[in-house]
Chains A and B, each alone.
Chain A
Amino acid sequence: MADIQTYSHDAGWKHTVLRGLLYLVLILFAAYYLFPLIVMISTSLKSLDEIREGSLISLPRVVTFDAWNYAWNEACVGVECTGIKIYFWNSVKMAVPAVLISTFLGAINGYALTKWRFKGANIVFALLLFGCFIPFQVVLLPMSQVLGKLGLASSTAGLVMVHVVYGLCFTTLFFRNYYVSIPDELVKAATIDGAGFFTIFWRIILPISTPIIVVSVIWQFTQIWNDFLFGASFASGANAPMTVALNNIVNTTTGVKQYNVDMAAALLTGLPTLLVYVLAGKYFVRGLTAGSVKG
């Protein structure tokens, strides 16, 4: 930290003006980032008439939750007018197992690759890591064929498998980098105490992994919940996840454009990940940076 307060040569009013300017710039930026969210919320609470008459930034004169209700229960996705709620549950049914399975596999992979190193462990890790970076377009075509052959086309189970397979490299990276910093002596001590591979994992390693488990769960949840490409490619129709449904609602060209419903649906889609971010922002940032800076 190199800050004006400590390191500025100026004193008095000049310093005060500088600080004032600093806060002004920061507040302007905050407004820039918040603006879309505020508009989204305020639009979702207006009636359609008010949207047409009023301005983007004006607050709703009459607050109504009709748009929310409509988006949740009645909005049309394609020809089905069942609201976004069934797609919300599709996303839940897809995200929860995929997050749990990929996190568990990442944990045990990371443990094996760091604490029970075998010949070629580094190569195995490097090959796994590579999967984090491929553009998924390159696997779309074969995957749709394989899912078809497995009878998993357009199913939630198929999406779970896809997300587990391509989430593995991230979770393995997280856990591997975390376990590298745990002293090997812990495993040696437990070996002498008579514990084996799985006992050490369950009784000693897993209980001290809470922070990285949180990072991994949050990262995977955000990725999987926000995914659109796999959802759109492999799960059309009634099994589509929420992002696909949202895009469908918004880009439907038939009928009157209901901006308030669009915004309500968008908020509903964004809410789970936003909630996770607000509640566990620290871990969210850790996941982001762990994904970008390798060790």
Chain B
Amino acid sequence: MGASQSTESNLTAGIQRHLSKIVVAPSFAASLFFVYGFILWTGYMAFSKSRMLPVWDWAGLRQYERLWQMERWHVAIENLLIFGGLFIVTCLVIGCLLAVLLDQRIRAEGALRTIFLYPMALSFIVTGTVWKWLLNPGLGLESMMHDLGWTSFEFDWLVNSDMAIYTVVIAAVWQASGFVMAMFLAALRGVDQDIIRAAYMDGASLPRIYFGIIIPSIRPVFLSAIVVLAHLAVKSFDLVIALTGGGPGYSSDLPATFMYTMAFQRNQLGVGAASAMMMLATVMAIIVPYLYSELRGGKKNG
């Protein structure tokens, strides 16, 4: 009896030992197929002759060449640089400023924080819709300013192909700056109070304390915020669609909308795939070094 009991418990122990793997396996398989498999799939498509329908004939770098020959793609890239740069910098400035201001024992801090952050809960489509209405040249802010007596005020960015991309920045900053504020505020609250006290005892003024001690000590949060914002910028799609539709013409296209248009409206699967791979490469260039340093840093701290 002892023997049979022992084998039985061996068997259950064996299954128990593998249960962990069995449980994770479906998710892992899904990830292998839907993430890695699909990336390879898209990557291959970018080397194929695919146009309207996916075909598997090898075309070498043909699609990439066509992509980089397209004026529209260059516009999208340029827009991404403008949008990404302004979006990140403005969000950082506003987020950091608000966090420092909120860190001054403010009455109703909770309410203010809620107000600053609520746009983050909205869909970009909702944000796009409302800002489209606000920036509407005929009835929006422009007419409001006219009513207020400033009749020479002109604000036609939404329909001006040189300026349309900046309206996307405005709306995006409105949506995401509160989130940066939340990240910074959490970091400020985590700064060692004794260091601040020591600096104060040494006679440092408040701005000195902030610029000399607190802000340098939350430097990692700047990095995290930049990575998150850059990642958001590259993936930005919904906002452009809802706000400008990529227009006028294709003047406010971003790579994300470019890819969508090529793949689903222009029957240019190959070019779409090539642009998607370019986007992936951009995101990887930002994320991989960051994740690597984060995960390594985590290990170092125990």
Contacts and interface: CB of A to CB of B under 8 A. Distances in A.
Q: In the complex, is A directly touching B at CB under 8 Å?
A: yes
Contacts of A229: 237-238, 260
Interface string A147-165: 0000000000000000001
A56 B143 contact: yes
Classify the secondary structure of A's interface with B: helix
**Residue from B34, B196, B205 with most neighbouring chain A CB atoms (10 Å):** B34
A251 B245 contact: yes
Contacts, number: 290
Interface stretch (A59-67, A92-100, A202-210, A282-290): A282-290
Interface in A249-295: 250-251, 259, 262-263, 265-267, 269-270, 273-274, 276-278, 281, 284-285, 288-289, 292-295
B141 A56 contact: yes
A5 interface: yes
A127 B115 CA distance: 37
A4 to B, nearest CB: 5
B118 interface: yes
**Residue from A33, A225, A227, A263 with most neighbouring chain B CB atoms (10 Å):** A33
Contacts of B214: 2
Nearest to A21: B101
Contact of A228 (B23, B238, B294): B238
Contacts of B206: 2, 4, 7-9
Interface in B25-76: 26-28, 30-32, 34-39, 41-42, 45, 54
7 contacts: A138-B279, A141-B42, A142-B45, A165-B31, A270-B122, A289-B183, A294-B298
Interface in B163-220: 174, 178-179, 182-183, 186, 188-189, 191, 193, 196, 200, 205-206, 209-210, 214
Interface string B13-29: 00010011101101110
Given A135-B256, A197-B19, A277-B120, 15 more contacts: A22-B101, A26-B101, A55-B143, A109-B27, A124-B28, A134-B35, A137-B256, A138-B279, A141-B269, A165-B34, A168-B30, A246-B126, A277-B117, A289-B182, A294-B298
Nearest to A172: B27
Interface residues of B, number: 108
The 3 A-B pairs with the shortest beta carbon distances in the complex, nearest first, are A116-B20, A226-B123, A277-B121
Contact of A142 (B19, B27, B38): B38
A4 B104 contact: yes
B287 A52 contact: no
A179 B82 CA distance: 41
Given A124-B28, A228-B237, A270 B126 contact: yes
A142 B37 contact: yes
A76 to B, nearest CB: 16
Given A33-B178, A109-B24, A292-B228, A39 B260 contact: no
B278 to A, nearest CB: 10
Interface in A27-84: 29-30, 32-37, 39-40, 43, 51-52, 55-57
A293 B134 contact: no
A141 B103 contact: no
Given A56-B134, A229-B238, A141 B147 contact: no
Contact of A135 (B178, B193, B235): B235
B23 A112 contact: yes
A229 B94 CA distance: 28
B87 interface: no
B116 A30 contact: yes
Nearest to A166: B34
Contact of B235 (A26, A30, A126, A136): A136
Contact of A262 (B133, B225, B237): B133
Given A197-B20, A284-B121, A142 B291 contact: no
B287 A135 contact: no
Contacts of A197: 16, 19-20, 23
Contacts of B105: 1, 3, 5-6
A3 B39 contact: no
B122 A273 contact: yes
A222 B126 CA distance: 13
Contacts of A140: 259-260, 263-264, 276
